[in-house]
Structure 1
Amino acid sequence: MEMLARVECATIERGTKEGRGVDVSGAWTGEAPRGVITLVFTDIQSYSEMSERYRGAFRSLLEQHNALLRALCRQYGGYEVKAWGDAFFFAFGSAEEAARFALHAQHAILNTSWQLTLTDGSIEQVPLRIRIGMHTGEPEPILHPDGTVDYVGPDVNRASRVCAAAHGGQILLSSATHALVMNALGNTVQFRNLGQYWLKGVGRERLWQMWQQELPATFPPPNAPRAELHNLTVAETPLVGREREVEELAALVLRPNHMLITLVGPSGVGKTRLAQAVAEALLEHFADGVWFVPLDGLTTPEAVAQRIIQELPMQLRADTDPLQQLVEYAHGRTMLLVLDGIESTAAVTEVVRALIQGAVGLRLLVASLNPLHLRVEHLYEVKPLNVPPPSADRDPMLLERYGAVQLLLIGARRHAPDFEITPTNASAIAELCRQLDGLPLALELTAARLALLSPTELLKRLDERFQILQTRNPDMPPRQRALQSAIEWSYGQLDAPIRAFFEQLSVFSGSFSVEDVEAICESASPIDDLLELHQRAMLIEIHHKDERRFRLLNPMRLFALGMLREKPEMDAKIRQRHAEYFLQVARACLAQVRTPFENEAMRLAELQMDNMRAAMEWFTRQGDWARRAEIALRLSQLCDRLGWLLKATTYLQDALDSALFLDEAQMELLTELTLQRAALQYEQHHWEDALQTAQDALARYESLGSLPGQARSHNLIGLILLRVSRFDEAYTHFQRALQGFMQANEPVWVALALNNLGLLEYERGRFDEATRFLQQAAQRQRTLGDMRGLSETLNNLGAVHQLQGNTAAALRYFSESLEYEAQIGNRLGIARGLCNLGEVLMLQGETLPAARHLLAAMQLFQQYGSPDYDYALALYQRLMLDEDTDARLQTECQNRALEDLLQWARIL
């Protein structure tokens, strides 16, 4: 057997020597084996370094290497599963033939002259060597549409990891393959038991080296940690969406003076699984081992020390204190202890303190609900997996990029292998992930239910107690067999005052600031209470410029809300305080409109929109119709300023519904509501209705004697008349508005009236007069810091210059206007700016930039309910793009968030 192999190896070198030779004409396309098969992985040692060094010159050697291995695969009846770069994945129906292939391949590689011709004409000999790893199992075959077969499953991963452990020129076998070939290849083939090693992602494996005479027999230890130096087991659940955290934590553990790192977070957030992954990543860095120690149910230092000793390669002596023995063993050793399942922080803290003081080379990674509060401790907050924003709901491929969706899919396919994201269920899947806030335990429990219920059905069954999310799996700790139990576990670790504070935080919908909490919640020290909850990772921090904002995880919030409802008096008191506070916040945000502080006010309004809506719901429950009408009106006005026309209209209807219960005592509020209704009718191009409603508002303000209200009504009536080309009447109302604003000493509105007079002259074709009014308005607005007004005026100046044929000036004005609209977050203002820029670019013959601007404008107009969509669509159709370009741009434009959409559109 040895002679046959050696003769074939000698004749395969280039197919030119005496002997049988080998056909190297192409890939072997024989039938893929089924059932129990032997999987073989190969790759070139130091391939990346050689390809980087030799660049294009290395291509010929790679092709020669590929042809050689493909020829041998065919000769021994193998099947080429796939090839990438320098690597191959082969499958053999016979372990013996796979072993013969591997031996022959190493002989051939060793006996081939691997020469390169460099760019200067010189020839260099390259010491090319390959690694080969083999494992026998029963992987799952996958048939591709092109007829090729792939394999998936744990056996494939194990074979790949066996190869990764090898060195160049070496053949490594798993125990399964070794058992099949050890007595089948003759006495010239030798095997060496290398011992047990830990293969990343697959666990323990006893590795065997196989070689023949003339092949190298001596190699360094395998590229894997020895299994004897740790007690890790293969994780039962996959690690999804945690690559960054594993990398960060591994670096922290290895950093000098970082003896203790504590992973904090609520039960079910994935601390244990993350700690396991970090431990596995660090196996090669600790000469004395990595040891995972579960501490569930232990409440004394002695019990904790004894449990750690049980996991270490040491014997517990009865004559000495367990903690003392543990410290003595750890002293002078370089090892990592991973402590998990902590129930008594005090007991663990005492043991950890003693270890830190007595064992300098020791590192401790602790997974806990609570910090240990030691001076040397470094806290690492474990956050839930990232969840998709609503903008991604319609794109299944985009959804699968988010960790929460990935984990949900993996779990669902464990129970229903054919489960897939489709356009039909994508939105419900994304909403499930958001409702569960990316909490891994919640996602795993949800995944099991998807075998019986559709995502939409499951979403409907979620309640604040999440009763449907539970399992009978005996492998899970009792507290993690139901989401409710996991949350109760975290809640139960809090002291009574912190529990009450935690419950009160549940009244916040969305995020909140320290100032918000101090205004609403009852606590002797709200900042300290927030800090403690944050250290336990029961609060998520949200970065908003220089302000720290927080929010409760949604499952946590719903649980706390249920607990608060069991205390009716406190519930009512906190909710009333919350509702009144956020009515004031809405008023304060609107007071900053058309001031230098509008940008920040609008961002705050966006952040607090959920809280304002919750306030409206509370006023509804209380039957407080005046306050409900006012906060609905404020929400409508804020949404209008943000360009959310559909939402503004919805909130306006809420306000109108409440107004049915009001009387003449609330006449001022009713009149303001009437003017807002007219403004939205104007935005929706309902000119006749808008005119009648605005005239009604004017009459009401006249009866109230409100000069500013009358001026605002005249201004809106002028705009409506302008749109229906009743220019003389519009001029009269604009002049009355200007006089009223001047008498009321409202300089911002004076500038606005000048802008509208300029707009009127533009519509009349009097461009010089239009420019004069608009420049006056712009100068005042710059002085006043009114970015909203300035953006409108600059946009009008751009329109004047466009009609005059000065496209360069038009582009400049439109671009500056768009920048201001983006700063204040006015979606419809942004859309109009993009539309105007697109039109000018179209006139300049810049087809693709024009198309991107117009498509982005159309998406925003459609999303926020503006009839200006039709105008943008008509311009886009005039571009007459070919079908392929149109389809490509439409696809690129879809599902982009606002900032990303702007960047895409502005690629000039």
Structure 2
Amino acid sequence: LVGPPGVGKTHLARQITHDLAPQYADGACFVDLSAISDHGLVASAIVHELGLAEQGHSDAAAVLEAALRERQLLLVLDNVEQVAGIGPLLKKLLGKAPQLTLLLTSRSALRLALEHLVPVQPLALPSLTGLPELATLAQIDAMALLLERLKAANPAVELNAGNALALAAICVRVDGLPLALELVAAYGRLFTPQELLSEIAQQFLHMRRRGRDLPERHSSLTTALAWSYDQIPPPAQALFTRLSVFVGAWTVDGVVAVCDLDGIGRPAMVENLHILLEHSLIQQHTLGSASHCTMLAMMREYARERAQAGGEQASLHDRLVAYCVGLADTAERQLGYGVDEALWIARLDVEHDSFRTALQWSLTAGDPAQGLRLVGGLWRFWYLRGYLREGRRWMETFLSLDLADAAEPQARAYDGAAILAWRQGEYDQADVWCQRALAIYRDIHNTKGEAQVLGHLGLVSGESGSVERAAAYYEASLPLYRALDDRSGIVSVLHNLGNLYCQQNDNARATALYEECLEHYRALGSQSGEALVALGLGVIAREEGAAERSLTLLTRSLELARQLEDDWTSATALINLGDLAQDQHDLAGAQAHFQAALALFETIGDQQSIATVTERYAILALVQGQIDQAVGYFRQSLLLANGLGFQPGIASGLEGLAACVSSGQPLLTATLLGGAAALRAATGFPIVLAEQARYDRTLQIARQQAAAADWERAWGKGAALAVPRLVALALAARP
């Protein structure tokens, strides 16, 4: 059993000794080696625990071999890392006693051929993003131990709604390490849970517990870690302290690039990492075909304390920034080409905390120009992973700085910020930033940048209702990409044109473009492109009544998006799957899809899509006859769409509220529908084909209640009203 100090190896070994003893004819024996450092004394310690007598001048090892030869025994040796050179004795015992089973606990592997390593992991942790019920929370391993030890120190402690988050945060803060939890709990008589959380931040490593029955090595985390640190060679010690520059996970490439201050090269750096791993000072994880490493919070703090005196922090952080900039630049190109997207997104996810550290260092102590380059390289990642708020915050921060000789990085950052703003439904801001990026790219004669921004302006214009302007931008972008023979750029414009035709209900042209795009995306190996094309084709199939084909395509889109952890595409696929379920009268299924979509959109901050899902909730209530609930949802959707300037959403909200009052207020219905029709005509966004039947029913119900002349006057009145007046009228409507 291997693991870092305080992870609970001894406790687990004792429990195993107790539980498995009946399965061995001669039982089980637990031997504590924590007080022994001389391998020559190990045999005597085992002999003593077994109750054997050492005869005269006989060698203890010989006595042990003779006694174990015929025994079926589980022998548990605790803390073998204390004893250098113990390996030969263990190998000899196993050779002489065929029915002997050895279970060892150690902070480091012994490197024996017969050794099977079982890492002991910290205790399971609660999630801070959504705490479960108190009864469930109390059963989570880390919380259960913390509560048990807190009650031992202070019986008055009880888990309640007021302290649940603080106690859960303590568990997470100490990585669920049993020793750390016990050290924190020892202060439970002095501090409340909320105060304990603050206390950890100030003196985590130096908290002590006092007890005559406690081993000195476990009296504090500093004591426990110092012993492990002292056992590794100086080059590994140097690397251990330098790794504190990484806040989260890191890769071997990152370590070599950032921490090799001595120029010892990759092979030596890898060997030092291996030493740290063997001594349980770092942890290794595998994600797909790639691996990365992490360090427990207590390890990182101990390493940081040692590093602060070394005078290397500035150099390490500068190297981290340079590494992150290079990685982000490469990733931005690869994601732009659509090559190995899942691998690159997973890689950037691993490094995300390093990016944050690098950005903060660039802003406060390093070179801000490097930070500007970094945000310009990260925008695609932020976009694909839904980190819209965080990405915009960093971009706006660096764009607000007055940096000289940074034209190209500024243009990239403006362009990236515009896309994040567009995805959040802030079209005016997105247009401003796109125009700034376009001006810079044209000034520095960067044709590819110009082509990309023109395409992005098409996106912004299309969503804000300027269909002709959008088409013009796309038509201006396409020849620039063709001149550069940029296949990924060409397909991006063709895809956006397909979306534009789809919005115009020109399904034949949209389908032709989507299918052409699909060939390009497959040739490029772009899963995200394929996911988006499947989404578009699935929408068209639903509109054409091909429900089975639509389900296949939308499910494929959702599967690909989830593989990429692309929350936006996943959520959009879920909306359309909900629509399909509703078409087939599976209202519970539709509700579940809409709920899942809304949760994702709320996470990434896509306000436009939140308005769209809220409208779906309204329609779902309407078809179930829940008129008051439908009105509430339509109002929410309309308010949000109006605030965003989302023209199709405004029109749909007007039409939805018109449907809610159509049975009793035909002229108000006519006014709202007339205004919506005028808005659609002005912006170029027709009613979605799949919604046409519902619209026609509203029209029929209302028209048959009103005289033709009255209807026409009310319709004309709505068509003449300004959008703010129409919205106010709709929001005031009562069924």
Match of 2:438 among 689, 698, 713: 698
SS in 1 for 2:291: strand
Distance 1:465 1:416 in 2: 21
Contact residue 299 and residue 347 of structure 1 kept, 8 A? no
1:871 matched to 2:612:
yes
1:122-150, CA deviations, whole angstroms, 9 ceiling, x for partnerless residues?
A: xxxxxxxxxxxxxxxxxxxxxxxxxxxxx
1:791 matched to 2:531:
yes
Which residue does 1:725 correspond to in 2? 465
Contact residue 721 and residue 730 of structure 1 kept, 8 A? yes
Alignment of 1:83-162 (within 5 A): none
Which residue does 2:187 correspond to in 1? 449
Alignment of 1:387-786 (within 5 A): 387-393=125-131, 396=134, 399-400=137-138, 402-417=140-155, 419-463=157-201, 466-467=204-205, 469-522=207-260, 523=264, 525-569=268-312, 571-593=313-335, 594-657=337-400, 660-663=401-404, 665-786=405-526
SS in 2 for 1:279: helix
Contact residue 637 and residue 648 of structure 1 kept, 8 A? no
Distance 1:679 1:535 in 2: 45
1:299 matched to 2:42:
no
CA 1:448/1:729 → structure 2, altered by over 3 Å: closer, same or farther? same
The structure with more helix, counted as a fraction of residues: 2
Match of 2:22 among 270, 280, 284: 284
Question: How many equivalent residue pairs?
Answer: 618
CA 1:632/1:421 → structure 2, altered by over 3 Å: closer, same or farther? farther
CA 1:361/1:507 → structure 2, altered by over 3 Å: closer, same or farther? same
1:275 matched to 2:13:
yes
Shift of 1:701: 1.9
Amino acid at match of 2:603: Q
Amino acid at match of 1:613: R
Distance 1:617 1:866 in 2: 26
Shift of 1:641: 1.9
1:377-422, CA deviations, whole angstroms, 9 ceiling, x for partnerless residues?
A: 3333222223234444465455445422222222223234454444
Distance 1:684 1:572 in 2: 37
Contact residue 391 and residue 417 of structure 2 kept, 8 A? no
Amino acid at match of 1:563: R
SS in 1 for 2:204: coil
Distance 1:427 1:743 in 2: 58
Which residue does 1:844 correspond to in 2? 584
Q: Which moved more, 1:818-827 or 1:305-314?
A: 305-314
RMSD between aligned residues:
2.7
Distance 1:784 1:379 in 2: 42
Shift of 1:436: 1.3
SS in 2 for 1:661: coil
Distance 2:534 2:114 in 1: 58
Which residue does 1:356 correspond to in 2? 94
Amino acid at match of 1:557: R
SS in 2 for 1:377: coil
CA 1:494/1:463 → structure 2, altered by over 3 Å: closer, same or farther? farther
Shift of 1:838: 0.8
CA 1:780/1:398 → structure 2, altered by over 3 Å: closer, same or farther? farther
Q: TM-score, normalised by structure 2?
A: 0.78
1:327 matched to 2:75:
no
Alignment of 1:133-282 (within 5 A): 263-282=1-20
Which residue does 2:657 correspond to in 1? none
CA 1:741/1:423 → structure 2, altered by over 3 Å: closer, same or farther? farther
SS in 1 for 2:245: coil
Amino acid at match of 1:457: E
1:809-836, CA deviations, whole angstroms, 9 ceiling, x for partnerless residues?
A: 4333322222222222211111111112
Shift of 1:876: 2.2
1:365 matched to 2:107:
no
Distance 2:275 2:428 in 1: 58
CA 1:650/1:425 → structure 2, altered by over 3 Å: closer, same or farther? farther
CA 1:304/1:423 → structure 2, altered by over 3 Å: closer, same or farther? same
Contact residue 788 and residue 820 of structure 1 kept, 8 A? yes
Shift of 1:863: 1.5
Distance 1:464 1:525 in 2: 36
Contact residue 498 and residue 510 of structure 2 kept, 8 A? yes
Q: Which moved more, 1:551-560 or 1:629-638?
A: 629-638
Shift of 1:608: 1.1
Distance 1:654 1:396 in 2: 40
Amino acid at match of 1:741: Y
CA 1:744/1:438 → structure 2, altered by over 3 Å: closer, same or farther? same
CA 1:770/1:377 → structure 2, altered by over 3 Å: closer, same or farther? closer
Higher Rg? 1
Shift of 1:603: 1.1
1:685-728, CA deviations, whole angstroms, 9 ceiling, x for partnerless residues?
A: 12222223322322222212222222222222222222232222
Distance 1:397 1:655 in 2: 46
SS in 2 for 1:462: helix
Shift of 1:275: 0.8
Shift of 1:575: 3.2
1:386 matched to 2:128:
no
Match of 1:817 among 550, 554, 557: 557
Amino acid at match of 1:748: S
The structure with more strand, counted as a fraction of residues: 1
Shift of 1:848: 1.3
Shift of 1:493: 2.1
Contact residue 79 and residue 105 of structure 2 kept, 8 A? yes
1:855 matched to 2:595:
yes
Give ranges in structure 1 of 5+ residues lacking alignment. Answer: 1-262, 887-908
Contact residue 465 and residue 558 of structure 1 kept, 8 A? no
Contact residue 633 and residue 655 of structure 1 kept, 8 A? no
Amino acid at match of 1:674: Y
Shift of 1:268: 0.9
SS in 2 for 1:320: coil
Percent of counterpart pairs with the same letter? 28
Distance 1:882 1:348 in 2: 78
CA 1:458/1:285 → structure 2, altered by over 3 Å: closer, same or farther? same
